[in-house]
Amino acid sequence: MNRVSPIRWILFGTIVFSAGFLAFPLTSIGWEEDFHYGLTAWLATKAGFSESDAHLIADGTLKLDRGINDARHLVGWYACAGNDTEASERVRDTHFPSFTRMPAEPEQRKVVADSEAAQRDSLKEMCVNVTPQSREYALDKFGQSLHPLQDSWSHQGKPSIPLACKTNLAWGHPQNPTWKVTWFDNIFGGVEVGSNYWNHNADLTYVHPTDTVAAAKTTYLSLLKYRANLYGSQLNDEWSLLERDVQMFASAQTKADKRAWFKGKHKDLAFLDKINLPNGIASTTNANYGTHNLLVEKILLPSGIILVRQDGSSNGHCSCFREWFEGFLNSWLQSEKPGKLVDEFVDIEAMKQSIAQELSVELGSKLNY
């Protein structure tokens, strides 16, 4: 009789728990690094800012998708695991601009592109008196103020609610009846059939190029106004000379296309590595496991497990975790011996090496202390 070792059952249970936990907060961001950082920095240089100042502004814009400000993490903790109205309003103000007081149902807090709520922070920063000592801080704050303005296009409409999260507090990608909805979206996408919480279309410029161009134009005009207030001199509006370039940016459908567009505009294009477009998955290596040729994807769950997914091409944009989760779920439902799925979906050796490396670093830091 073949028995599955206890450690594999423990790993299997940990995978199910971790995958379920991560299913909530993955996709409530709007535009990605290509827009929030790359395009914003380029538009800032066109509005008359130096390259260093342009990157300070762009860093501020991207900052609201990082760390404690990341809506994906906030939503997961305050509206799924917790019940925090103040945190919900923080996500509203930085990613889903409206004046609706929380808690409120999704129908009551639809996002409108370029609305007064979306412009509120940027207009406020334009009135701040900037001194030489506060200049870098002011540029960062203005960059942050552009984030909800830009997101008002990618998040316009009625927000979706992630599965198992509170409908009057949580936020997710807007519902859009024109987007393709899969069985995965219907099960894990949100509390309503047809929700798009998992759908990455809200992040992708080529899916809605008209909105991309409109958001870019408003960003550029805001940068012009802010520069005039900062330096006391008004530059001419040259949007008509930039619009064609921005249209080409918006239509780019692969990472290779985005890199080609940014070539000569940015020195370091590493910010494009994480965007959800085909042609390039970062940090992958090939490995052979039994009869399967697997592509090791270094997705490190909170439990310390490194996942793998079966090698295969993708015709459209991809989310590697989503592909792995779908494969795992399908195999789990069809398998008579679910405990053995660990061998197929977990790179145990890579997991051991990762844990050993983390323990070594931790031990080294304590000894050096």
Q: DSSP string spanning 99-119?
A: -PPSS--GGG--B-TT-HHHH
The answer to whether residue 1 is domain-embedded is no
Is 42 in the same domain as 145?
A: yes
Q: Which of 272, 301, 329 is where one domain is finished?
A: 272
Q: Quick check: 291 and 310 in contact, CB under 8 A?
A: no
Q: Are residues 299 and 243 in the same domain?
A: no
Q: Which of 226, 241, 272 is the last residue of a domain?
A: 272
Residues 60 and 170 placed together within one structural domain of the fold: yes
CB 46 within 8 A of CB 249: no
Per-residue buried b or exposed e for 123-156, using 16+ beta carbons within 10 Å of the residue's own CB: eebbebebeeeeeeebbbbbbbbbbbbbbbbbbb
DSSP E strands, 144-255: none
- How far apart CA 319 and CA 120 sit, in angstroms, is 33
**Same domain assignment for residues 190 and 310:** no
Q: 97 and 76, same structural domain?
A: yes
Cα separation, 223 vs 359, whole angstroms: 46
Count of domains forming the chain: 2
Q: Is the same domain home to 246 and 334?
A: no
As a whole number of Å, the CA-based R_g of the chain is 22
Q: Are residues 64 and 161 in the same domain?
A: yes
Residue 311 CB partners (closer than 8 Å, separation 6+): 286, 293, 294, 295
**Is residue 315 one of the residues assigned to a domain?**
yes
d(CA 94, CA 127): 19
Over its length of 369 residues, how does the chain's per-residue pLDDT go in tens digits? Answer: 455 555 555 555 555 444 444 444 444 455 789 999 999 999 999 999 999 999 999 999 999 988 666 665 566 566 666 788 988 999 999 999 999 999 999 999 999 999 999 999 999 999 999 999 999 999 999 999 999 999 999 999 999 887 778 889 988 888 664 444 443 444 444 434 334 444 556 678 998 899 999 999 999 999 999 999 998 888 999 999 999 999 999 999 989 999 999 999 998 999 998 787 875 433 333 333 222 223 333 333 434 444 444 433 333 334 455 555 556 656 655 555 655 666 666 666 666 666 666 566 555 554 554
Give the other-Cβ count within 10 Å of 339's Cβ. Answer: 18
- Of the three residues 272, 293, 315, the one that is the final residue of a domain is 272
Domain that holds residue 189: 31-272
Q: Are residues 243 and 147 in the same domain?
A: yes
> 119 lies in a domain?
yes
Same domain, 74 and 39: yes
* Same domain as 236, residue 92: yes
- Do 129 and 13 sit in the same domain of this protein? no
